DNA sequence: ATGTTATTGATAATGGTTATCATTATATGA
DNA sequence: TCATATAATGATAACCATTATCAATAACAT
């Protein structure tokens, strides 16, 4: 229990201490679930369900609070896929921008696109509109390869 | 009353009839408000408040339903600025993609960016990821010129 | 070990949106 | 024009993700 990644836990502990927050078993358990489910874009409710198998006494409100906290300290980032709930993704070391996403309108799959394709565009926008970009949210909606092979959406 | 744009109203009437919907005073009033407030990204509640000066008996539920309907027939598009409510924008003739937006983290202003800058990126993404893009949602968060002049966020 | 203070869990409240349902209005065809 | 079928409306209850409240508990510094 709470033994997924000592390295990550130590890093979290460090980040929390700096800001005056405490490291609780609940917070460790939420982090572990996020580590175990990298790349899955879990919602708060989904995280709550998963974390309860390790930590059955945890309350839903604590999960909400923990996710807010982790977002505030920059450990995770929140994303909105317009499905009525917040979803979260671990922020990787050395990443200051989040990925962008390809969302399939047929099967709902979410694929991540590397950032570098967007870099040129951001520079152009900053110049043309004299706007200092700090972050972005980029979603492309369409049909993935698999779904285009099954039915004919092309 | 309900006399903003005969041309637009006729077009709406046409679009509604094709799908078997009826043209009601309430729907005309909502359309008029949207026409009068082009470029403002109004929320449902804001539209409700504005439309009541022309149409005081209209119910909030009707405004919600009308906006859903107008979105469904492609007359407006819904956007999510992560402020807890849906916002809407008229879809212009000959536009199949929505704009993208620059959202200022200081004053909250929303500026529209022309589509052409994104075109190259979309082509590259389609090729690289074999994904057929139908629509997108692109938001850049940062600081606008005015706010960067006032305080020093740069 | 102790005390300060953040955190927790349970639950009520919030707020945007949707569902329900009886009543009313629109479009259509006689 | 008028009657009729059916969609639309307004009022309001329900929904659901999220946030606020608050007394009890736990983490960390000393």
B52-81 residue pLDDT tens:
999 999 999 999 999 999 999 999 999 999
CB pairs under 8 A between A and B: 101
For the stretch B95-117, pLDDT in tens is 666 678 998 888 888 888 887 77
Q: Which two tokens stand for residue A111?
A: 């694929």
What are the residues of chain A with a beta carbon less than 8 Å away from any beta carbon of chain B? 80, 82, 102, 104-105, 111, 113, 117-118, 120-122, 124-125, 128-145, 148, 153-154
- Phi/psi at A76 (5° precision): -135, 165
- Per 3-state DSSP, what percentage of chain B is helix, strand, and coil (rounded to 5)? 45, 20, 35
Query: Rounded to the nearest 5 degrees, what angle is found at the Cα of B140, between the Cα atoms of B65 and B88?
Result: 15
Cβ–Cβ < 8 Å for A42, A36: no
Are the beta carbons of B141 and A125 separated by less than 8 Å? no
Task: Give the per-residue pLDDT at A14.
Answer: 86
Q: Flag whether pLDDT at A133 surpasses 50.
A: yes
Measured between alpha carbons, how far is A152 from B139 in angstroms, rounded to an integer? 30
Q: Which two tokens stand for residue B125?
A: 């993404």
Section A84-89 average pLDDT: 95
Q: Does any strand D atom come closer than 7 Å to the Cβ of B44?
A: no
Cβ–Cβ < 8 Å for B104, A132: no
Measured between alpha carbons, how far is A26 from A48 in angstroms, rounded to an integer? 11
* Among B118, B142, B154, beta carbon nearest to A121: B118
Section A106-125 average pLDDT: 85
Which residue is associated with the tokens 């807010």?
Answer: A68
Task: Give the per-residue pLDDT at A95.
Answer: 65
* Confidence label for B131 from pLDDT (cuts 50, 70 and 90): very high
Q: Flag whether pLDDT at B6 surpasses 80.
A: no
For the stretch B32-55, pLDDT in tens is 999 999 989 999 999 999 999 999
- Phi/psi at A140 (5° precision): -110, 125
* Confidence label for A94 from pLDDT (cuts 50, 70 and 90): low
In this structure, how many other beta carbons lie within 10 angstroms of the beta carbon of residue B7? 9
Measured between alpha carbons, how far is B16 from B2 in angstroms, rounded to an integer? 17
Which residue is associated with the tokens 């390809």?
Answer: A102
* Confidence label for A116 from pLDDT (cuts 50, 70 and 90): confident
| H or E, element range at B19 | helix B6-19
**Is A134 in a helix, a strand, or coil?**
strand
Substitution target in B112, B129, B134 with the highest count of A β-carbons within 10 Å is B129
Q: Does any strand C atom come closer than 7 Å to the Cβ of A117?
A: no
Cβ–Cβ < 8 Å for B132, A143: yes
For the stretch A2-32, pLDDT in tens is 345 677 778 888 888 889 999 999 999 999 9
Nucleotides of D strand lying within 7 Å of any protein CB atom: 7-13, 16-21, 26-29
């Amino acid at each position: 229990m709470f033994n997924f990644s000592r390295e990550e836990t130590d890093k979290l502990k460090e980040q929390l201490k700096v800001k005056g927050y405490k490291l609780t078993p609940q917070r460790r358990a939420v982090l572990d679930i996020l580590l175990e489910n990298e790349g899955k874009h879990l919602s708060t409710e989904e995280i709550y369900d998963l974390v309860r198998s390790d930590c059955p006494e945890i309350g839903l409100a604590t999960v909400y609070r923990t996710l807010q906290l982790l977002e505030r300290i920059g450990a995770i980032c929140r994303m909105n896929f317009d499905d009525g709930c917040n979803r979260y993704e671990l922020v990787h070391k050395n990443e200051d921008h989040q990925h962008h996403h390809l969302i399939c309108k047929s099967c709902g799959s979410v694929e991540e696109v590397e950032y570098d394709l967007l870099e040129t565009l951001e520079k152009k926008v900053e110049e043309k509109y004299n706007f200092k970009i700090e972050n972005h949210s980029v979603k492309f909606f369409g049909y993935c390869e698999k779904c285009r092979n099954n039915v004919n959406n092309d």
